[in-house]
Amino acid sequence: MKYEVLGASLYAYTGGKAFNPAQPTAVFIHGVLNDHSVWILQTRFFAHHGWNVLAIDLPGHCRSAGSPPVSVEAAADVVLALLDAAGLERAALIGHSFGALIALEAAARAPQRVSHLALLGVAYPLRVSAALLDASVSAPEKAIAMVNVFSHSMLAPPPSALGPGTWIYGASRALMRRVLASNTETNVFYTGFKACDSYADGETAMAKVQCPVLFVLGSADQMAPPKGAQSLLRLAPNARTAIVPAGHQMMVEAPEEVLAALKQLLT
C-alpha cells in the first residue's frame, strides 16, 4: 500500500490483509539499511490476528520515494504524517534501532496519538564510530560486512526462523546491499548512521511518553548492548523489558521470542 506523505509516495507493507478501519493499527519502522521486510515474521502474525499493519520503507529507501530523513526528528515527522495520511487517530509504534529512536521521538511529539510503544535493539545515545561513518561512504561493502558481523550473535546459527538451509548473515548482507543500491542520489547508509549518531533528545523524549512501553533487547547485541538502554529505562519505570537470545538483528535471529514479547504488549 502507498500513501502520499509530505509530498512523496511512502510504501507500507500490510501483511497481506486489507486495511480494516475497525481494527487497531501498528506501524513498524526499520533501522539503517533495512526495509519493511525485516519485520515479515512479526507483521504477518498481527495482520492475521486483529491488527492493521503498516510496515514502512522510510523515505528514499526501496519502494518509498522522497529524500531519506537526515535526522531522527525528520523521520518522526514522516511517521506522524503517515498517521494523518492513513486517517489514523492513534497507532502502536514499533521500531528497531534507528527505527526505535524514530518511534520514541514520534511518541514524545504526539503522545495522544500513540497507543503502545515498542523499542527493539535500542540504545541511547546510539553512537556510531567515526571509522564506521567514514567507511559507509568510502568503503560501503566493507562497512556492510562489519555491521553484519556485529549485528548477529553468530555467523552460522543452527536452522531456525527461516527454516533449514537459510543463511541469516548472508541474507542480511544481501538486503543491505539492495537497500543501498535503491537510492542512487543519496547514501542512505551514511545518512541513517549520522542521524543515529546525532540524536540528542532521547531522554527528553522518553520523559514525555504516556503509553505502555516495551523494550526488546538482544542478550548478544553488540551494536546496542542492553546496558545501552538503561538511560531510557530509568525514565520509563513501568516499562516492560524482554531479553531475547539474539544479536542486533533479533527479528530474524529470534523471531518467535520477539513475537512473544510484542504479543504481550499488544494483546
- For residue 114, give the C-alpha cell: 500513540
Q: What is the pLDDT of residue 235?
A: 97
Q: For residue 163, what are the contacts with CB-CB under 8 A and spacing of at least 6?
A: none
Q: Give the integer Cα–Cα distance in Å for 231 and 170.
A: 33
CB 41 within 8 A of CB 16: no
Domain total in the chain:
1
Burial class of residue 262 in the structure, from the number of CB atoms within 10 Å of its CB (0-12 exposed, 13-18 middle, 19+ buried): buried
Nearest to 48 by CA among 28, 20, 88: 20
Q: Find the CATH number of the domain harbouring 85.
A: 3.40.50.1820
Q: How far is CA 182 from the centre of its chain?
A: 18
Residue-range definition of the domain harbouring residue 257: 2-266
Rounded (10°) angle between helices 140-151 and 130-138 = 130
Q: Give the integer Cα–Cα distance in Å for 29 and 119.
A: 10
Angular region, 165: left φ>0, alpha ψ -120 to 50, beta rest = left
Q: For residue 260, what are the contacts with CB-CB under 8 A and spacing of at least 6?
A: 242
Q: Render the burial of 48-82: b for 16+ CB within 10 Å, e for the rest.
A: eeebbbbbbbbbbbbebbbbbbebbbbbbbbbbbb
Percentage with pLDDT > 70 across the chain: 96
Q: What is the pLDDT of residue 39?
A: 98
Q: Give the integer Cα–Cα distance in Å for 26 and 37.
A: 15
Strand-pairing partners, residue 96, are 120
Give the model confidence (pLDDT) of 62-81 as tens digits. Answer: 999 999 999 999 999 999 99
CB 185 within 8 A of CB 169: no
Helix (H) or strand (E) holding 79: helix 72-85
Mean pLDDT, residues 3-27 taken together? 97
CB 186 within 8 A of CB 68: yes
Q: What is the mean pLDDT of the chain?
A: 95
Q: What is the pLDDT of residue 158?
A: 56
Mean pLDDT, residues 36-43 taken together? 97
Mean pLDDT, residues 196-208 taken together? 98
Confidence of residue 154 (pLDDT cuts 50, 70, 90): confident
CB 116 within 8 A of CB 214: yes
Mean pLDDT, residues 185-196 taken together? 99
In this predicted structure, the answer to whether residue 163 has a pLDDT above a threshold of 90 is: no
Looking at residue 50, the DSSP 8-state letter turns out to be T
User: Is 267 or 154 the better-scoring residue by pLDDT?
Assistant: 267
Strand-pairing partners, residue 118, are 94, 214
Q: What is the pLDDT of residue 166?
A: 74
In this predicted structure, the answer to whether residue 155 has a pLDDT above a threshold of 80 is: no
Q: What is the pLDDT of residue 162?
A: 61
In this predicted structure, the answer to whether residue 40 has a pLDDT above a threshold of 90 is: yes
